[in-house]
Structure 1
Amino acid sequence: MRVETIGDCTLYNGDMRDIVPTLSSVDCIVSDAPYLVSKGGFAANLQLEGGFGGWMKDYGNGGDIVKCDIKWSDWLPIVYAALKDDRQAYFMSNGKNLKAAWAAAEAAGFDLHTILTWDKRSALPNKYYQNVTEFTLFMRKGKAFTIRNPASKSLVSIFQRDESSHPTEKPTELMSLYIENSTWSDWVVLDPFMGSGTTGVSCVQSGRPFIGIELDETYFDMSCRRIEAASRKPNMFRPKNDNTPPADMFAPATPVAGAA
């Protein structure tokens, strides 16, 4: 196992099933875990009668783009045990995997807050409706607390500008939204499937300690480079004195006047 430390980020190259049980408890989990993702709804463009024309004339999308040898039920109980009580977690999924992810998360002990939607503003063409959205299970372990910006919407539209060659990279802005809504500056964020390191970059920019785990050495090196580059950039917008949650963070919400 290889370990790299970059500022407040500790990065592990190895299998999360071996590493997470050895860690101290963490305050938040934000992860785009591996799941089977195919390139579209047909084997190849030329198999369709007449094919496509115009900008899609050379398009073909046969085969899977993500290698996955781990199930939701294999790892969700592990991260549940690692998360402190009364904390929140974010697990990303596409539509096809959402049901399985939800069921496995609840079986592990998590409770669902709500399902969040990311509008990617772009999609791969296929013979069905083109998917422009992905989903996030916003969950908790234990008591609920109000997110730091309750004006945040459950649907956000953020265009993905790739900063790496990872096939399922997520926007830093999206991960930062989740991290900053569910943590304070000394709360540790875990991503057990670090990929290209976007969650780590978001933690650096938000001033949060980060633990990242990645099995693939190529992507691990990619994460190290991105997080190292982010750590060299001063963040003038990092909040000050942001390490103390409010004393009433677990207080019930104030009822709305006139509500039934």
Structure 2
Amino acid sequence: MRPFYQSERATIYQGDALPVLRALPDNSVDAVIADPPYCSGGASTATRTNNSARSKYVSTNAKHNLASFSGDQRDQRSFTYWCTLWLGESLRLTNPGGVCLVFTDWRQLPSVSDALQAAGWVWRGLVVWHKPGARPSRGRFTNAAEYVVWGSHGDLASRELYLPGFYSVTTPRGNARTHITQKPLTLLRHLVNITAPGATVLDPFLGSGTTGEAAILDGRKFVGVELSEQFAEQAAARIAAAEQIVSGRTEGGSS
């Protein structure tokens, strides 16, 4: 299997996540940080399975024309089963004591937590991502948070580490946003701290590359998988830029 992008610190594969994960070797990563398609964004099965990702997650008055993405039209049962499959492969790839973090919204929280456990991970809890500036809806509570379901491959590796379970970070806007469901770089840089420096982080749904950029900037190695060639190119560019920053730090520190 030929990488789409490869360097000393990072490898990207362009293709469907499940077959790519199946081709990777056992115990080859230390953590999985995944932001899969939510297959959410609607109150009925029809809107969740028929509408495009862009129509579900981008407001009609949005001032951008960012590309949509595929894989977001699974119904509830197939979404849960699919998550169990790729989470099971991810468990095989992760060293004992390693961790898995999966982004989700309120609709899919039960399915993701079930799939994580069905795949063999030990469920450890939830991390809350509060989104300041979330759009209010008249007559109801504002959906101002998404969640990270996390677990471990068996017992957690022992580390002298204390991390909060709540992060308040604004979503990317303007030129900083290149993907319609892009996560904030600041948030991912916090999350990668669950791993030790030098650890290898896997993201099976790379998108525009935020997880990879965060991993590289914070002294980790990275493996990513992305279905879309367009987004794989964006991710490769971001990761290459992050590697240049890290290389500059190293050279500056040795002079």
The verdict on a shared fold, with TM-score over 0.5 as the criterion, is yes
CA distance in 1, matches of 2:249, 2:193: 16
The residue that corresponds to 2:97 in the other structure is 86
| CA displacement at 1:66 relative to structure 2 | 5.8
Q: Which residues of 2 match residues 153-172 of structure 1 at below 5 A?
A: 153-162=164-173, 163-172=176-185
CA distance in 2, matches of 1:111, 1:74: 16
The alpha-carbon distance between structure 1 residues 13 and 146, as it changes in their structure 2 partners (threshold 3 A), is same
The residue identity in structure 1 corresponding to 2:180 is: P
The alpha-carbon distance between structure 1 residues 7 and 153, as it changes in their structure 2 partners (threshold 3 A), is same
**Aligned-residue identity in percent:** 24
CA distance in 1, matches of 2:87, 2:231: 22
Q: Which residues of 2 match residues 109-128 of structure 1 at below 5 A?
A: 109-127=120-138, 128=140
Structure 2 stretches of 5 or more lacking a match?
48-58, 63-67
Which is worse superposed, 129-138 or 155-164?
Answer: 155-164
Per-residue deviation, residues 33-92 of structure 1 (Å, max 9, x unmatched) = 112132799x9xxxxxxxxxxxx9968xxxxx7642563123111111111111111111
- Asked whether the 8 Å contact 1:119–1:155 carries over to 2, the reply is yes
Q: In the alignment, which of 188, 198, 209 is matched to residue 175 of structure 1?
A: 188
| CA displacement at 1:146 relative to structure 2 | 4.7
Instruction: Note if 1:36 corresponds to 2:39.
Output: yes
| CA displacement at 1:194 relative to structure 2 | 0.4
2:133 aligned counterpart, secondary structure: coil
| CA radius of gyration, larger in | 1
- Which one has the bigger helix percentage? 2
Instruction: Note if 1:198 corresponds to 2:198.
Output: no
Q: In the alignment, which of 186, 211, 218 is matched to residue 230 of structure 2?
A: 218
CA distance in 1, matches of 2:131, 2:16: 29
Cα RMSD for the two superposed structures: 2.7
| CA displacement at 1:202 relative to structure 2 | 0.5
The residue that corresponds to 2:30 in the other structure is 27
The residue identity in structure 1 corresponding to 2:197 is: W
The residue identity in structure 1 corresponding to 2:33 is: V
The residue that corresponds to 1:12 in the other structure is 13
The residue identity in structure 1 corresponding to 2:89 is: I
- Asked whether the 8 Å contact 1:13–1:214 carries over to 2, the reply is yes
Structure 1 stretches of 5 or more lacking a match?
44-55, 60-64, 241-260
The residue that corresponds to 1:143 in the other structure is 155
Q: In the alignment, which of 228, 231, 239 is matched to residue 243 of structure 2?
A: 231
- Asked whether the 8 Å contact 2:21–2:86 carries over to 1, the reply is no
CA distance in 2, matches of 1:58, 1:179: 34
CA distance in 1, matches of 2:60, 2:94: 48
Per-residue deviation, residues 200-222 of structure 1 (Å, max 9, x unmatched) = 00011011110000001111111
- Asked whether the 8 Å contact 1:188–1:211 carries over to 2, the reply is yes
Per the normalisation by structure 2, the TM-score is: 0.76
Per-residue deviation, residues 179-230 of structure 1 (Å, max 9, x unmatched) = 1222331x21100000110010001101111000000111111111111122
Per the normalisation by structure 1, the TM-score is: 0.75
Which is worse superposed, 224-233 or 211-220?
Answer: 224-233
Aligned residues: 218
| CA displacement at 1:106 relative to structure 2 | 0.3
1:232 aligned counterpart, secondary structure: helix
CA distance in 2, matches of 1:179, 1:198: 11
| CA displacement at 1:123 relative to structure 2 | 1.7
- Asked whether the 8 Å contact 1:7–1:231 carries over to 2, the reply is no
The residue identity in structure 1 corresponding to 2:179 is: H
